[in-house]
Amino acid sequence: MAPKLVSVDSAVKGIRSNTRVWLHGTSATPTPLVEAMVRRHESLSNVEVCHVHTEGSADYAKKEFSKSFKMNAEFVAHNVRNEVNQPHATMTPIMLHQIPKLIRSKDFPVDTTIIQCSPPDRHGFMSLGSNVIATKVAMDHSRHVIGMINPNFPRTFGDATVHMDEVDVLCEEAMPLHCNASRAGGEIEQTIGKNVASLIEDGSTLQIGFGGVPDAVMGFLTSHKDLGVHTEMLSEGVVDLMQKGVINNAKKAVMPNRMVASFALGSARLFETINDHPGLMMMNVDWTNDPRVIAQNPKVIAVNGAIEVDLTGQSVADSIGTRIHSGVGGQLDFMRGAAMSEGGKPIIALPSRTKKGAARIVPWIKQGAGVVTGRYDIDYVVTEYGIAKLWGKSLEERAKALIAIAHPDDRANLTAEARKRNLMP
């Protein structure tokens, strides 16, 4: 029997102390339920709140509520970045495709899952909309599922489809989705985007993320043909290419003629585009990000960012020194999938310097920083100064190629340090 509608505050009464709660995340974060949960803090203790990248308020992560809640993020977003670097909160380093496996295991029991969903259709089916990742798996392995129906929420298909019978308690709250408008890329981002686009052939399958560089890449693909999308994150850059027919998914081997993603992050325009779109399948991340699945597609282009890259090709993307910035996410999943794909190209794209002028092609990574893509997995590195192809190259050849695409004012120092390390004569 379908659950009756209750108030937002009543919906969270089933959360118990000394248990683990899984939160629906990114643009689908059910903020009214999150805030209602925090309002219950005096009656709760030792509730571990887990998620992959939430948006909106995250007071459960604050020190003042640490007796009631402890955050354990599997990917760190801006709203909890300060807290995760304090002792009262934590994160779990894990590749995105392994999170469903973790939830299914006895090592990570989930008691309660909190979701946002679309209104039910006449058959009682709802949708997880803009975010699947591991939420459907968490629902299937929870004692208790709390749902918030949002009439503004998009309906998507694939693993996003859930039935009212799978939810124990439902409330209804109209709210706009959490939007992240793309950052307008400047001249540097445009140049990097043009460099990356030069590596993309017709018939390629794309994994391109969020931000100024990815959007710039998409802007240089308007004359391409038969592009496909198989990605973890669907961003706004796909919309224009879909409408122009550049993205038609005709050459894909996995789910041909359909885009594949696990979550969407962008503006209201993106969410309007994916709503009820039969050409988009939102799938569990252990499938979308499985390198063996990714590799079945032809010419997979994986474009990912980095915080810094050292002269041997080690790429840091989750931390700035010892300070956690984000997480591993799906970078390595797609880098390896692209490397195994026939004609695939794994690409790290980054500006040569930070906005404050610090070098991002460096002699060695900062102490305490985490390597996300190792020198054995890396292939292309792209900056505004060019393209370095590292796969199959010696340490000497790598150092020379990376110095050549570093900022000109950093090249002398990089050359001197490379010689000190005996990387080059």
- Residues classed as catalytic: 232
Terminal-residue alpha carbon distance, the chain: 74
CA distance 349 to 334: 14
CA distance 252 to 259: 9
Backbone phi, psi, residue 395, to 5°: -60, -40
The length of the chain is: 425
Q: Which H helix or E strand runs over 403? A: helix 395-404
CA distance 171 to 150: 9
Residues near 190 by Cβ (< 8 Å), separated by ≥ 6? 216, 219
Residues near 11 by Cβ (< 8 Å), separated by ≥ 6? 33, 36, 146, 148, 169, 170, 171
Give me the amino acid identity at 91. M
Other beta carbons less than 10 A from residue 303's beta carbon:
29
β 323-324/319-320 pair status: antiparallel
Specify the DSSP class assigned to residue 343: T
Please give the structure tokens belonging to residue 372: 């996300």
- Listed residue (363, 354, 348, 357) closest to 320, CA to CA: 354
CA distance 255 to 266: 23
Which value, in Å, is the radius of gyration of the alpha carbons in the chain? 22
Query: To 5 degrees, how large is the angle CA 114–CA 181–CA 128?
Result: 25
